[in-house]
Amino acid sequence: MLKIYLHALRNKRKLMTTLVSILICSSLMAQVQIHGKVTDAEGKGIPSITVTVKNTNLGTSTDANGDYSLSANLKTGNQTIVFSGVGFKMQEKLLQLGNATTYNLNAQLNPDALGLEEVIVTGTTQGTTRRQLGSYISTVKAEDLTKGASTNALQALQGKTAGAQIIQNSGDPAGGISVRLRGISSINSSSEPLYIVDGVIVNNATTRVTNTSSNYDGGNFVGQIGQNRMVDINPNDIERIEVLNGAAAAAIYGSRANAGVVQIFTKRGRSGAPQVSFSTTIMRNELRKKVPFNHSPVKFGGSPDVFTQDIISTVGTPAALPTNTTPVTRYDYQDYIFDPGMGTDNNVSVRGGTDKTKYFASASYLFNEGIVKNTDFQRYSFRMNLDQTLSSTLSFTAGFNYINSTSNEKPDGQSFFSPLNSINIIGNFHNIWERDANGNLKAVGERGRANPVSVIEDIKQKQITNRILANAGLKFSPIKNLNFNYTIGLDNYTQSGTTFIPPFAYNVNPAFYGGGFPINETQNGYASAATNTFFQINHDLSGNYQFDINNNLSSTTQLGYSLQYERSHYLLAQGRGLAPIVETVPGATTILPPADDRSEMSISGAYLQQGFKFKNQLFVTGALRLDGSSVFGKEERNQLYTKASASYVLSGADYWNLDFMNLFKLRAAYGESGNLTGIGAYSRFNTYSTTPLVGRTSSYSGTTLANENVKPERQQEWEFGTDMGFFGDRLGLSFNYYIKNVKDLLINRFVAPTTGYSSLLDNIGSLRNKGFEVVVNAAPVVNKDFRWNVTSIFNRNRNEAVNIGQSLILFSTNPGAPVAIIQGQPIGVFYGTFFAKDGNGNDVKNGSGFPQIEKGTQNSTLIYTPGRDASGLPTGTTLRKVVGDPNPDYTATLTNELSYKNFDLRVQLDAVQGVDVWNADWRTRQGVGNGEVAEKEHNGILPRGYINSVYAIEEWRVDDGSFVKLREVSLSYRLGQFKRFNDITFSLSGRNLISWDNYKGYDPEVNAGGQSTVLRAIDFGAVPIPRTYSFGIAAKF
């Protein structure tokens, strides 16, 4: 017994000794200081270059002049110092440490046009360089994000990353932005990528706390309108963004990565004297283009007060379009609702630290007015990032970001009491400013429309968000080549909104929260208050081990575990029929149904990733991820995703002898990922909802039968690509081809109602995205004073609904857009009625010269036979076909960067081609008589009744949405050192300056469906994207 005990003790002691020697490594250490300068090929200092001691946690980065200084306790002998930074090739330098205490080590880095030596973190085993990657990952650096007069990180990303279609859906100052990486990846849920900021999974939901009423959408499908929460991230805090386009790269993110991953890294501290950066920008936002309006001196029919909709309304028996006219004064209401907005963006930050403690702290204030009167957005953001070395093997990081944002809004586009639609829906012959003897506004005609003056002056909508993002991490490197990483991330926000529509003094339709005529006080006016509280926490733990099997072959193993939990709570109180003055819900006579939705879910996953590297030429990686989530059905609780990739750098081989081509790399990758977001926290259950019925509790089952064994939509992606560098990387080319298949697509499929349900939500469908991306970088001129860089990106994606379990799913939408999902067609096409054409492709016209709607026999969803009667006019049932496609043929970007001495000029052109927009507003303007076609009918240039004859033909609303935009222009002048300042830069920027398009509305880059996956390219009362000018000064001291 004693013997055993002693033995154990001895062993334990031995173990302890070993452990201690591993952990503390106390032998032969010396406190040294290493400093130097990192320069580019022309000898200019490069800021933000990371300088690290290889195989340790020790490191710093260079300051604005390229200088660095690093104090560390290091083992004597040979040490490798690594210099790396975005846009430059990584360089390793050997440093012989002897008895001295200070060392000078300079480095000159070569530009890395293709970013091959960039360290990529997202979806890879720790710190892989791009050279090794088997799939395409793009990186965008800070300088490129903040130049283009944008105030939103996603907006700033437009045109800067391949494979992404980034659309600003609304021109509101906090307007929603959607990001589609390689097309749509779902039907039933969001297609927005997963966002990670410093290891924190950041929620990017669009939740309506304003525009709250359910009958606001009239039971229709309005999409995802409003702000998405990435608006909270201050672009000035960002160091770089990594974008993973597809499953092949994103597989280790498992069930959340179907739509790709966007990882954002914020700025961090560096050792050295504290550096204060300050920047201030002043902005002006203005309407880029006005739409034409009717100037005709007359209207049809009688007084505007009793007959406002004169173009398409009939009178008399038998009903006929009136042809008599009444003289009217016409107004341009655009001058009233639009007003240039001013804004400021102020940032101050301090970064600094010692060799063990580094910090970055920033404060920012943004205020930006919209182009619609009385709309604005304000954001305060504070950030603190801390890096602390605890010992030679342990380091700690922490980050904290507090954001408070406030926006003053107007009702969203998809209603007829939004600013844009309030002027779209009325004839422009009403003096909307006129008031009666009591000072009240007057009704706009007899149809119960909201007066635009009420919308601009009286309707109030406000949204306030308080958000905290926090992260903490620990890195432990017990022995050489082995490290463990742990990150905890937390995202917590409360979004609260209020809406107030005061009772109208005149006839407004109850559907627009008026009281009708005679005014019903119990319906007149609306108030709501809503809050959405969201909490998410994620833990990520990983271990990495790297070792050399022999001189040529090395291995990297990563084992990880991740756990995520989220909780949300949405509360809404609302009512209509308001007492005067009262803006809150208790003032309502008719209390409308409240909402109180709570949800909780968790997901956990473990992954193993193994990489092999042969001679820095051939790289092979394989990974497995096993996920489980509370939202999956019991039988589908665990989901396995696999990934494999390989890349071969031919130019690194011994036989390579093409001098002009310095790089040639081939890569291939396969990966799987899942989509969790399509499944609600409890959507696998058949539940009973409750609603009061005349004072009693009523419970009812939904008409959709839930699948208790629901599983995530699963994506399988193949990606093949190449990277090529010519003439010493003066010219670079990357090409990617991909096929993404999404199977187990969740579709709400109709079932026979005699089952007791109308539909079944099940994993029955599949869709496909196929396409390619080309990125060309060139540096045609590089010399000491003048530099010219060109970057161009070309993306083409083909989307197809492969199987949807039925031939057609047609959505009923507010703007009347016949949005459809049709087997074999791209998702979200417009499927509707169209113009009859003769054999020569000309419109078939009747005796009055009016175009005709096509009729005949509809043989199937896509096949029809037109019918003609004896006089050659269409006959039969009204036919439908695909009349438009909101998915572009291609998107492209061309960026030119020129720098001459201290001047920098950056010009970015974005193109989106071959896209159709559902221009509901343009057609409405003709129908109510304020548009340019109506003017022709009023003036007799078009026959009376022309608009009425084509009004019902849905094809008439399809507009050409292709454009080329002068997206960003930025001119800056670096004054350099000036008095006590280290660096002063002046910049003048513009955004969305010019658009070359044939679009009949304000701006083809629009979506009234917000961030919706299937409602795309719909123009219905959405605020156009403003043209923005900005002037800024940035200083460092």
Partner 1 sequence: MKQLLYIITFFTFITATTGCKKEYVNPNEPVEDEVYSTVQGMTGVIVGIKNRYAVNNLGPATVYQAISANGLTTGELTVLNAGNADLAQLLNGGNNVSPANGVLGSFWITTNVVNSEAQKLIDNSEKIGDVNTKNAIKIYGHLYKALAIGTLAMFWEQVPVNTGPNAQFSPRQQALQTAVQLLDQASALLQGSTLPASFLSATGTEIDLKNTLLALSARYNMMLLNNDQAIAKASAVDLARKSVFFYNTQNQNPVFRSGLVSSNVVGIKKDLGLPISLAPEAGDKRLPFDTTKNAQNGSSFFQGDATPIPIYVPGEMLLIQAEAYARKGDLAKAVEFVNKVRTKKPADDPYLLGADLPPYSGPLTQAAILQEIYKNRQIELYLLGMRLEDSRRFDRPGPGTTGAERTRNFYPYPQQERDGNPNTPKDPDI
26 binds partner 1 (CB under 8 A): no
Rounded to a whole number of angstroms, the minimum distance from the CB of residue 900 to partner 1 is 53
Among residues 721, 798, 736, 808, the alpha carbon closest in space to that of 767 is found at 798
Tokens 């993110």 belong to which residue? 253
320 binds partner 1 (CB under 8 A): no
Q: How far apart are CA 599 and CA 269, in angstroms?
A: 38
Of 317 and 551, which has the nearer Cβ to partner 1? 317
630 binds partner 1 (CB under 8 A): yes
Part of the chain binding partner 1 (CB under 8 A), chosen from 341-349, 694-702, 709-717, 1024-1032:
694-702
538-567 positions binding partner 1, by CB under 8 A:
539, 541, 563
629 binds partner 1 (CB under 8 A): yes
220 close to 487: Cβ distance less than 8 angstroms: no
Q: How far apart are CA 321 and CA 185, in angstroms?
A: 48
570 close to 207: Cβ distance less than 8 angstroms: yes
Among residues 743, 555, 604, the alpha carbon closest in space to that of 256 is found at 604
Q: Identify any residues that bridge with 469 across adjacent strands, giving them in sequence order.
A: 401, 491
Half-sphere exposure of 155 (CA within 13 A, CB side): 34
Phi then psi for 334, rounded to 5 degrees?
-60, -35
571 binds partner 1 (CB under 8 A): no
Q: How far apart are CA 464 and CA 376, in angstroms?
A: 12
Q: How far apart are CA 459 and CA 454, in angstroms?
A: 6
Q: How far apart are CA 48 and CA 42, in angstroms?
A: 17
653 binds partner 1 (CB under 8 A): no
Of 340 and 805, which has the nearer Cβ to partner 1? 805
For residue 301, the one-letter residue type is G
Of 476 and 720, which has the nearer Cβ to partner 1? 476
Q: Cα–Cα distances in Å, from 452 out to 181, 334, 410, 437, 948?
A: 38, 10, 11, 20, 25
Part of the chain binding partner 1 (CB under 8 A), chosen from 34-42, 128-136, 597-605, 1024-1032:
597-605
Of 315, 464, 468, 751, the one binding partner 1 by CB under 8 A: 751
Rounded to a whole number of angstroms, the minimum distance from the CB of residue 708 to partner 1 is 10
472-531 positions binding partner 1, by CB under 8 A:
474, 476, 486, 488, 518, 522
Q: How far apart are CA 900 and CA 974, in angstroms?
A: 11
Of 698, 848, 865, 998, the one binding partner 1 by CB under 8 A: 698
Of 12, 289, 598, 784, the one binding partner 1 by CB under 8 A: 598
User: What is the chain's alpha carbon radius of gyration, rounded to the nearest angstrom?
Assistant: 31
317 binds partner 1 (CB under 8 A): no
Of 585 and 742, which has the nearer Cβ to partner 1? 585
754 binds partner 1 (CB under 8 A): yes
872 binds partner 1 (CB under 8 A): no
703 binds partner 1 (CB under 8 A): yes
Q: Identify any residues that bridge with 575 across adjacent strands, giving them in sequence order.
A: 527, 591
17 binds partner 1 (CB under 8 A): no
Of 638 and 842, which has the nearer Cβ to partner 1? 638
604 binds partner 1 (CB under 8 A): yes
Of 43, 594, 753, 940, the one binding partner 1 by CB under 8 A: 753
390 binds partner 1 (CB under 8 A): yes
Rounded to a whole number of angstroms, the minimum distance from the CB of residue 856 to partner 1 is 16
758 binds partner 1 (CB under 8 A): yes
Part of the chain binding partner 1 (CB under 8 A), chosen from 275-283, 747-755, 883-891, 933-941:
747-755
Rounded to a whole number of angstroms, the minimum distance from the CB of residue 306 to partner 1 is 16
DSSP state of 11: H
**Secondary structure (DSSP) of 407-474:** EEE---SSSTTSHHHHHHSS-TTS-TT-B-TTS-B--BTTTTBPPHHHHHHT-EEEEEEEEEEEEEEE
314 binds partner 1 (CB under 8 A): no
848 binds partner 1 (CB under 8 A): no
Rounded to a whole number of angstroms, the minimum distance from the CB of residue 428 to partner 1 is 24
Rounded to a whole number of angstroms, the minimum distance from the CB of residue 242 to partner 1 is 26
Cα torsion 15, 18, 20, 24 to 10°: value is: -160
Query: Is residue 373 exposed (0-12), middle (13-18) or buried (19+ Cβ within 10 Å)?
Result: middle
Of 681 and 894, which has the nearer Cβ to partner 1? 681
Rounded to a whole number of angstroms, the minimum distance from the CB of residue 560 to partner 1 is 14
Rounded to a whole number of angstroms, the minimum distance from the CB of residue 180 to partner 1 is 31
Tokens encoding 119: 């360290």
Part of the chain binding partner 1 (CB under 8 A), chosen from 321-329, 404-412, 668-676, 752-760:
752-760
CB-CB neighbours of 464 under 10 Å: 16
Q: How far apart are CA 197 and CA 233, in angstroms?
A: 9
1014 binds partner 1 (CB under 8 A): no
27 binds partner 1 (CB under 8 A): no
Q: Cα–Cα distances in Å, from 458 out to 411, 436, 454, 498, 585?
A: 11, 17, 5, 14, 17
Rounded to a whole number of angstroms, the minimum distance from the CB of residue 582 to partner 1 is 19
How many residues appear in the chain? 1037
Handedness of CA 131, 132, 133, 139 (dihedral sign): negative
400 binds partner 1 (CB under 8 A): no
Q: Identify any residues that bridge with 572 across adjacent strands, giving them in sequence order.
A: 530, 595
Q: How far apart are CA 951 and CA 946, in angstroms?
A: 9
Rounded to a whole number of angstroms, the minimum distance from the CB of residue 954 to partner 1 is 13
599 binds partner 1 (CB under 8 A): yes
568 binds partner 1 (CB under 8 A): no
Part of the chain binding partner 1 (CB under 8 A), chosen from 260-268, 335-343, 594-602, 1005-1013:
594-602
Total number of residues that touch partner 1 (CB under 8 A)? 61
Rounded to a whole number of angstroms, the minimum distance from the CB of residue 602 to partner 1 is 6
792-831 positions binding partner 1, by CB under 8 A:
806
Of 82, 618, 663, 681, the one binding partner 1 by CB under 8 A: 681
- From edge to edge, which strands make up the β-sheet containing 238-244? 137-141, 238-244, 261-266, 194-197, 200-202
687 binds partner 1 (CB under 8 A): yes
Q: How far apart are CA 847 and CA 845, in angstroms?
A: 7
Rounded to a whole number of angstroms, the minimum distance from the CB of residue 730 to partner 1 is 48
Phi then psi for 169, rounded to 5 degrees?
-80, -20
Q: Are strands 759-782 and 704-706 parallel, antiparallel or unpaired?
A: parallel
Of 17 and 522, which has the nearer Cβ to partner 1? 522
Of 541 and 993, which has the nearer Cβ to partner 1? 541
601 binds partner 1 (CB under 8 A): yes
Of 603 and 668, which has the nearer Cβ to partner 1? 603
481 close to 547: Cβ distance less than 8 angstroms: yes
Of 692, 839, 841, 847, the one binding partner 1 by CB under 8 A: 692
Rounded to a whole number of angstroms, the minimum distance from the CB of residue 927 to partner 1 is 13
199-218 positions binding partner 1, by CB under 8 A:
none
Of 137, 537, 585, 731, the one binding partner 1 by CB under 8 A: 537
Q: Cα–Cα distances in Å, from 193 out to 207, 208, 256, 743?
A: 17, 20, 8, 18
**Chain positions contacting partner 1, by CB under 8 A:** 23-24, 390-391, 393-394, 474, 476, 486, 488, 518, 522, 537, 539, 541, 563, 590, 592-593, 596-602, 604, 628-630, 637, 681-682, 685-694, 696-701, 703, 750-758, 806, 952
